[in-house]
C-alpha cells in the first residue's frame, strides 16, 4: 500500500466539544476512527503563566494524504485560540486496517 496512514492528536476542554469535533470530522469523511480519552490533566504555560486543565484527547486515524484538509477543518472548528494539532506518521499497520482507514477517508 503506497498511501500511508497517520494519527492526529488534539485536545479540547469538554466532552461535548470532543464529541462535536468527532461527529463533524466523520461526517466529512476526514477521519476513519476517532477515539476520545479523558479526562486527562494537561500542564502548560499560557500567556506567561503556568496552567493546569482537564481536557479530552482525540486520537484521529486518517489517510496521511488527507492531512491538509483535516488540519484546516480542525483549525476552523476547534474551540481553542491556539489548538495543539499534531500529525504522527504511522510507521506500520496491518494491510487490512490500513486499507479500511484509506477506504473511509478517500
Total count of domains within the chain: 1
Residue 94's domain comprises 5-105
% of the chain residues with pLDDT over 70: 99
CB 105 within 8 A of CB 29: yes
Cβ-based neighbour number of residue 64 at 10 Å: 18
Q: Tell me, what CATH number does 67's domain have?
A: 3.30.70.120
DSSP 80: S
The sign of the dihedral angle between the CA atoms of 96, 97, 102, 105 is positive
Whose cell is 494539532? That residue is 85
pTM over 0.85: yes
Q: In the chain, which stretches have pLDDT less than 70?
A: 1
pLDDT at position 3: 87
- Chain centroid to CA 25: 9
**Sign of the torsion angle spanned by Cα atoms 74, 77, 82, 83:** negative
CA pair distance 15, 36, nearest whole angstrom: 8
The pLDDT of residue 92 = 95
Amino acid at each position: 500500500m503506497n498511501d500511508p496512514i497517520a494519527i492526529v492528536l488534539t485536545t479540547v476542554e469538554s466532552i461535548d466539544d470532543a464529541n462535536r469535533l468527532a461527529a463533524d470530522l466523520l461526517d466529512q469523511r476526514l477521519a476513519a476512527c476517532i477515539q476520545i480519552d479523558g479526562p486527562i490533566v494537561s500542564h502548560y504555560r499560557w500567556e506567561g503563566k503556568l496552567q493546569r486543565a482537564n481536557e479530552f484527547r482525540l486520537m484521529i486515524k486518517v489517510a496521511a494524504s488527507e492531512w491538509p484538509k483535516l488540519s484546516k477543518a480542525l483549525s476552523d472548528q476547534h474551540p481553542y485560540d491556539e489548538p495543539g494539532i499534531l500529525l504522527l506518521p504511522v510507521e506500520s499497520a496491518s494491510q487490512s486496517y490500513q486499507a479500511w482507514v484509506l477506504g473511509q477517508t478517500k
